[in-house]
Amino acid sequence: MTTYTAINLVKRPSSGPISSELFEVVQKDMPNVAPGEFLVKQNHMSLDPAMFGWMSPDTNSYIPPVALGDVMRSSGIGEVVESNHPDFNVGDRVMGMMGWQEYFLSNGQGLNKADAPLPDETILSIFALPGLTATQGYFNVGNPKKGETIIVTGAAGSVGSIVGQLAKADGLHVIGVVGNEEKANWIVNELGFDSAINYKSAGLESQLEKLAPNGIDLFFENTAGPIQSLIVERMNAHGRVMVCGLIADYSKEVPSPGPSWVSVLKRRLTVQGFTMPDHFHEVPALLAKLTPYVMAGKIKHRSHILEGLESAIDGLNLFFTGENKGKLIVKL
Amino acid sequence: MTTYTAINLVKRPSSGPISSELFEVVQKDMPNVAPGEFLVKQNHMSLDPAMFGWMSPDTNSYIPPVALGDVMRSSGIGEVVESNHPDFNVGDRVMGMMGWQEYFLSNGQGLNKADAPLPDETILSIFALPGLTATQGYFNVGNPKKGETIIVTGAAGSVGSIVGQLAKADGLHVIGVVGNEEKANWIVNELGFDSAINYKSAGLESQLEKLAPNGIDLFFENTAGPIQSLIVERMNAHGRVMVCGLIADYSKEVPSPGPSWVSVLKRRLTVQGFTMPDHFHEVPALLAKLTPYVMAGKIKHRSHILEGLESAIDGLNLFFTGENKGKLIVKL
Q: Does A139 touch chain B (CB under 8 A)?
A: no
Q: How far apart are CA A274 and CA B98, in angstroms?
A: 44
- Domain check: are A174 and A239 in the same one? yes
A111: three-class secondary structure by DSSP: coil
Question: What are the CA-CA distances from residue A293 to residues A170, A186, A222 (Å)?
Answer: 10, 19, 22
Q: Does B246 touch chain A (CB under 8 A)?
A: yes
Query: Within a domain: residue B310?
Result: yes
Query: Within a domain: residue A120?
Result: no
Digit-coded pLDDT (tens) for A148-197: 999 999 999 999 999 999 999 999 999 999 999 999 999 999 999 999 99
The predicted structure's pLDDT at residue A203: 96
The predicted structure's pLDDT at residue B120: 95
Question: Which chain A residues contact residue B133 at CB under 8 A?
Answer: none
- Domain check: are B174 and B248 in the same one? yes
Q: How many angstroms away from the CA of B265 is the closest CA of chain A?
A: 4
What would the mean pLDDT of B259-263 be, rounded to a whole number? 94
Q: Which of A2, A67, A52, A31 is nearest to A250 (CA)?
A: A52
Q: Is B137 in contact with B157 (CB distance < 8 Å)? A: no
Question: Which chain B residues contact residue A263 at CB under 8 A?
Answer: 273
Count interface pairs A-B at CB distance under 8 A. Answer: 123
Question: What are the CA-CA distances from residue A57 to residues A9, A120, B140, B292 (Å)?
Answer: 12, 31, 35, 47
Q: Which of B53, B221, B272 sits opposite A270 (nearest CB)?
A: B272
DSSP string covering B221-274: ESS-STHHHHHHHTEEEEEEEEE---HHHHTSSSPPPB--HHHHHHTT-EEEE-
- Domain check: are A39 and A107 in the same one? yes
- Domain check: are B155 and B261 in the same one? yes
Buried (b) or exposed (e) across A267-294, using 16+ Cβ within 10 A? bbbbbbbbbbeebeebeeebeebbbebb
Question: Which chain B residues contact residue A154 at CB under 8 A?
Answer: none
Digit-coded pLDDT (tens) for B275-310: 988 998 898 899 999 999 998 999 999 999 999 999
Residue A20, pLDDT > 80, answer yes
Range of the domain at B10: 3-115+302-331
The predicted structure's pLDDT at residue B58: 67
Q: Is A107 in contact with A144 (CB distance < 8 Å)? A: no
Q: How far apart are CA A263 and CA B224, in angstroms?
A: 13
Q: Which of B125, B195, B137, B128 is nearest to B166 (CA)?
A: B137
Query: Within a domain: residue A123?
Result: no
Q: How far apart are CA A68 and CA B8, in angstroms?
A: 67
Question: Which chain B residues contact residue A267 at CB under 8 A?
Answer: 60, 273
Mark residue B110 as left, alpha or beta (left: phi above 0; alpha: psi -120 to 50; beta: remaining).
left
What would the mean pLDDT of A15-22 be, rounded to a whole number? 89
Q: Is A221 in contact with A249 (CB distance < 8 Å)? A: no
Digit-coded pLDDT (tens) for B170-180: 999 999 999 99
pLDDT bracket for residue B59 (50, 70, 90): low
Percent of chain A with pLDDT over 70: 98
Cβ-defined contact of B260 to A249 (cutoff 8 Å)? yes
- Domain check: are A107 and A135 in the same one? no
Query: Where is pLDDT greater, at B117 or B242?
Result: B242
What is the end-to-end Cα distance of chain A in Å, rounded?
15
Residue A281, pLDDT > 60, answer yes
- Domain check: are A99 and A231 in the same one? no
pLDDT bracket for residue A59 (50, 70, 90): low
The predicted structure's pLDDT at residue B280: 84
Q: Does B252 touch chain A (CB under 8 A)?
A: no
Digit-coded pLDDT (tens) for A21-56: 999 999 999 999 999 999 999 999 999 988 988 898
Q: How far apart are CA A71 and CA A291, in angstroms?
A: 32
pLDDT bracket for residue B316 (50, 70, 90): very high
Question: Which chain A residues contact residue B55 at CB under 8 A?
Answer: none
Q: Is A256 in contact with A157 (CB distance < 8 Å)? A: no
Buried (b) or exposed (e) across B39-48, using 16+ Cβ within 10 A? bbbbebbbbb
- Domain check: are B138 and B274 in the same one? yes
Q: How far apart are CA B290 and CA B12, in angstroms?
A: 35
Q: How far apart are CA B321 and CA A191, in angstroms?
A: 54
Chain-centroid distance of CA B276 in Å reads 10
- Domain check: are A107 and A148 in the same one? no
Query: Within a domain: residue B123?
Result: no
Q: Does B270 touch chain A (CB under 8 A)?
A: yes
Please give the tally of structural domains in chain A: 2
Query: Within a domain: residue A66?
Result: yes
Residue A262, pLDDT > 90, answer yes
CATH number at residue A183: 3.40.50.720
Type and span of the H or E element at A149? strand A149-153
pLDDT bracket for residue B248 (50, 70, 90): confident
Q: Does A231 touch chain B (CB under 8 A)?
A: no
Query: Within a domain: residue B215?
Result: yes
Cβ-defined contact of B273 to A273 (cutoff 8 Å)? no
Question: What are the CA-CA distances from residue B71 to residues A159, B2, B66, B97 (Å)?
Answer: 52, 19, 8, 11
Q: How many angstroms away from the CA of B257 is the closest CA of chain A?
A: 4
- Domain check: are A71 and A138 in the same one? no
Q: How far apart are CA B245 and CA B158, in angstroms?
A: 12
Q: How many angstroms away from the CA of B190 is the closest CA of chain A?
A: 30
Q: Which of B62, B228, B261 sits opposite A268 (nearest CB)?
A: B62
Q: Does A266 touch chain B (CB under 8 A)?
A: yes
Question: Which chain A residues contact residue B275 at CB under 8 A?
Answer: 265-266, 268
**ipTM of the modeled complex:** 0.90
Q: How far apart are CA B143 and CA B174, in angstroms?
A: 15
Q: Is B92 in contact with B113 (CB distance < 8 Å)? A: yes
Range of weakest confidence among A64-68, B100-104, B250-254, B302-306 = B250-254
Digit-coded pLDDT (tens) for A91-130: 999 999 999 999 999 999 989 898 888 899 999 999 989 9
The predicted structure's pLDDT at residue B15: 80
Query: Within a domain: residue B121?
Result: no
Question: Which chain A residues contact residue B255 at CB under 8 A?
Answer: 260-262
- Domain check: are A133 and A271 in the same one? yes
CATH number at residue B22: 3.90.180.10
Q: Mark which residues 198-227 of B lie under 8 Å from A by CB.
A: 221, 224
Percent of chain B with pLDDT over 70: 98
Write the CB contacts of A106 (distance below 8 Å, at least 6 apart in sequence).
A37, A38, A39, A40, A85, A88, A94, A96
The predicted structure's pLDDT at residue B136: 98
Query: Within a domain: residue B273?
Result: yes
- Domain check: are B254 and B133 in the same one? yes
Q: Which of A168, A175, A165 is nearest to A230 (CA)?
A: A175
Residue B61, pLDDT > 60, answer no
The predicted structure's pLDDT at residue A58: 67
The predicted structure's pLDDT at residue B16: 81
Range of weakest confidence among B59-68, B148-157, B305-314 = B59-68
For chain B, give the mean pLDDT.
Answer: 94
Cβ-defined contact of B275 to A261 (cutoff 8 Å)? no
What is the end-to-end Cα distance of chain B in Å, rounded?
15
The predicted structure's pLDDT at residue A62: 62
Fill in the amino acid letter for A102. E
Radius of gyration of the CA atoms of chain A, in A: 20
Question: What chain A residue is nearest to B278 in terms of C-alpha separation?
Answer: A268
Strands (E), chain B: 3-9, 23-29, 38-46, 75-83, 93-97, 103-106, 112-113, 149-153, 173-178, 195-198, 216-221, 235-243, 270-273, 303-307, 327-331
- Domain check: are B172 and B213 in the same one? yes
Question: Which chain A residues contact residue B226 at CB under 8 A?
Answer: none
Q: How far apart are CA A141 and CA A196, in angstroms?
A: 23
Residue B60, pLDDT > 70, answer no
Q: Does A195 touch chain B (CB under 8 A)?
A: no
The predicted structure's pLDDT at residue A270: 98
Q: How far apart are CA A273 and CA A285, in angstroms?
A: 20
